[in-house]
Amino acid sequence: MTRKERRDRRTGLLFISPWLIGFLVLCVYPVLSSLWCSMCDYSVLTPAVFTGAANYRDLATDPLFWQSLYNTAFFAFFSIPLNLLVSLSLAILLNFKIPARGLFRTVFFLPSLVPMVCLAVLWQWMLNGELGLINNALKPFLGVANHLFGSHLQPPNWLLDARFAKWGIIFTGLWGVGNAVVIYLAGLQEVPAYLYESADIDGAGFWRKTWHITFPIISPVIYFNVIMSLIGTLQVFAIPYVMTNGGDGPDRSLLFMATYLYQNAFDYWNMGYACAIGVVLFLIIISLTWLATKLSEKHIYYAGK
Amino acid sequence: MDTRQHNRLLQPLVLVILIVAGVAFLAPFAWMLSTSLKPLNETMSLPVRWIPSVPQWHNYPEAIHGMGYFWRYAANTLFLCVMNVVGTVASSALAAYGFSRIEWKGRDKLFLVLLATMMIPFPVIMVPVYSLFRHLGWIGTFRPLWVPSFFAGAFNVFLLRQFFLGLPKDISEAARIDGCSEFQIFLRIILPLCKPALLVVALFQFMFTWNDFLGPLIYLARQKNFTLALGLENFQSQNGGTEWHYLMAASTMVVLPVIVLFFFTQRTFIQGIAATGSKN
């Protein structure tokens, strides 16, 4: 290394030092410490006692942990594709030549600005079984359906019914898709116009153009967004926590992994056990991200590569 | 360049769908406002009425009173927002500069490490970070909620680095020949050119701090120290399920500043969000 190279590296490291210190103290250390704590009996108040795999063995036979795993998986499994579908559709629709496009974009974007706690309080009221807006909007439709088919469908009591509580959270999340809409719309605007024009000449219709031109070109954006929402969805906490007034819903239907982790850490001071949940959550996120990357490798189109 | 799709047949249909969707997206806001101005009995009347018989403006002062220390919460939140914005912008800009405008061995490998840290969810590191702050005696103070922002968030470094890389190398070279130190180049030349990007980071951080719930929930103990988000949650858990007019008035007051801020900075905001998803 020449003197200049050494000097440049010193300057570079100096510039990134705020991040580097933060990385070591607030990232590397906590991750390692979390791993260590997950193998300990630890309550913060007293020193940690090493117990080996005991926490993990307990997790394996803990029905509440499996419940939280199931709830989290259920939520992610429906929420991620549904969000993708809605945000991508809205972005594609917004990309048509329509009047007041900016206004529509703002309207779809606004809800994603609402703070989590407000979102939860508002939607707790929206989803109120008797007085909520959602059910009062559903009633006429169900009335028509009941009339036509002789059924007796009633709108559900969303957050108070274990069968519907998670759907309540999923719909709440759907209101905040605006962020993704803006990202997709920006991606759509990078699709070169000549591709559509030549497809027009070839007589391709809307669906074929969308499938063969739009999707491949914005596939990196889709990939990025799906990974981000995967990471976000698996750590869902604030909305169900606030909606259940700090609880976990009827029959624990809103007990998510982050909820259970929080309960163990700060309600029971069972920090070692909480860390073990955290480690499992982390492993799930890493392996799903890896899986998504592997699955999508063949389908992502990177211009110029 | 116009990349929008044209289609005479689909156009009217698209517009209809967008209008329906738009109304659906606005309805919860209207519902929140409408409820916040109703007397209690009208929140419970069926069929739903959208316009209160007499708008109850006094619901707002009463919600402020009911929340306990509303103005303290607001001041606390504002304090945390300012500290976080200053800390994040300063530290992330420095780090992004080191990752983009200076060439050094190992730089790009370390940057990959930075990107990887974005995958670590907060709940995973929550317990050790909590006990670290506990050892420092910071629980119950604001410090756990703003000190970390001075150590550059990965996402913000990533965003700023993109902007820094876009500036031509020549400007730095010219300044170096003129005898500027690297820090002077950073402060006098690069930063002024990146004001829009810095504004994006500042706005994102402001929103994040304003919205944060889990952080204040675990670190703050006394009610006087609560943030608006935590104060609202506290108010809701005490009045849950009954006094919806007060809860909606309180929610409106917590959302409103964010919406106002958005309308003043809409352009920067939308461009910033669009930038997060592109070109990586």
Q: What is the ipTM of this complex?
A: 0.89
> With an 8 Å Cβ cutoff, are A96 and B10 in contact?
yes
Is A45 part of any domain? no
Tens of pLDDT, residue by residue over A174-227, are: 999 999 999 999 888 888 888 888 888 888 888 888 888 888 888 888 988 899
Give the residue-averaged pLDDT of B97-118: 91
Within-domain flag for A53: no
Tokens matching residue B221: 């103990």
Pick the residue of B126, B156, B176, B279 with the most A CBs within 10 A to test the interface with A by mutation: B126
What SS3 state is found at A50? strand
Kindly report, residue by residue over A76-88, the tens digit of the pLDDT.
999 999 999 999 9
A13: in domain? no
Look at residue A220 and tell me if it is in a domain: yes
* Separation in Å, CA of B14 to nearest CA in chain A: 6
Structural domain containing residue A161: 62-299
What CATH number is given to the structural domain containing A147? 1.10.3720.10
Residue A186 placed within a domain: yes
Q: How high is the pLDDT of residue B4? A: 58
The alpha carbon of A251 is separated from its chain's Cα centroid by a whole number of angstroms, namely: 23
Farthest-apart Cα atoms in chain B, separation: 76
Q: Residue B1: what pLDDT?
A: 38
Higher-confidence residue: A191 or B78? B78
Nearest neighbour of B127 by CB, restricted to A130, A271, A289: A271
Give the model's pLDDT for residue B240: 61
Assess if residue A101 is contained within a domain: yes
Question: Which phi and psi angles does A132 have, rounded to 5°?
Answer: -70, 155
A274 alpha-carbon distance from chain centroid = 21
CA A199 to centroid of chain Cα atoms: 35
> How many independent structural domains does chain A possess?
1
Closest CA to A62 of A248, A205, A291, A274: A274
Backbone φ and ψ of A220, nearest 5°: -65, -35
Please indicate whether residue A28 or residue B241 has the higher confidence score (pLDDT): A28
Lowest-confidence region among A231-245, B47-61, B106-120 = B47-61
Helical segments of chain B, H only: 10-36, 40-43, 59-66, 70-100, 107-117, 122-135, 143-146, 154-166, 169-177, 182-184, 191-193, 195-211, 214-219, 228-239, 244-264, 266-276
Q: Which residues contact B73 (CB under 8 A, 6 or more apart)?
A: B67, B226, B227, B228, B230, B231
Q: With the CA atoms of B213, B214, B216 and B222 taken in that order, what torsion angle do they form, in degrees rounded to the nearest 10?
A: 110
Mean per-residue pLDDT, B66-71:
90
Amino acid type, B120: I
Burial class from Cβ neighbours inside 10 Å (0-12, 13-18, 19+) for residue A257 reads buried
Q: What is the CB neighbour count within 10 angstroms for residue B111?
A: 20
Mutate to test the interface with B, among A2, A3, A104, A118 (most CBs of B within 10 A): A118
What pTM value is reported for the model? Answer: 0.90
pLDDT of residue B203: 92
Interface of B with A in 84-113 (CB under 8 A): 90-92, 94-95, 97-99, 102-107, 110, 113
Identify whether the C-beta of residue A266 lies closer than 8 Å to the C-beta of residue B218. Answer: yes
Residue A38 within any structural domain of the chain = no
Residue B277 has φ and ψ, to the nearest 5°, of: -100, -5
Tell me, what's the pLDDT at B272?
Answer: 82
Q: Helices in A95-214 by DSSP H: which ranges?
A: 101-109, 116-126, 133-149, 165-174, 178-188, 193-201, 206-209
- DSSP 8-state code for residue B153: -
Nearest Cα to Cα of residue B236 among A121, A179, A20, A53: A121
Q: What's the mean pLDDT when you consider all of chain A?
A: 89
Q: Chain A contact for B61, CB < 8 A?
A: no
Instruction: Dump pLDDT digits (tens) for B165-182.
Output: 888 888 888 888 888 888
Q: Does residue A173 sit within a domain?
A: yes
Tell me the per-residue pLDDT of B20-40, one tens digit each, with 9 for 90 and over: 999 999 999 999 999 999 888
The tokens for A204 are 């391709």
Residues paired with A40 in a beta bridge? A50
**Which of B101, B220, B89 lies closest to B156, judged by CA?**
B89
Q: For residue B212, what pLDDT band results from cuts at 50, 70 and 90? A: very high
H or E element: which one contains A212?
none
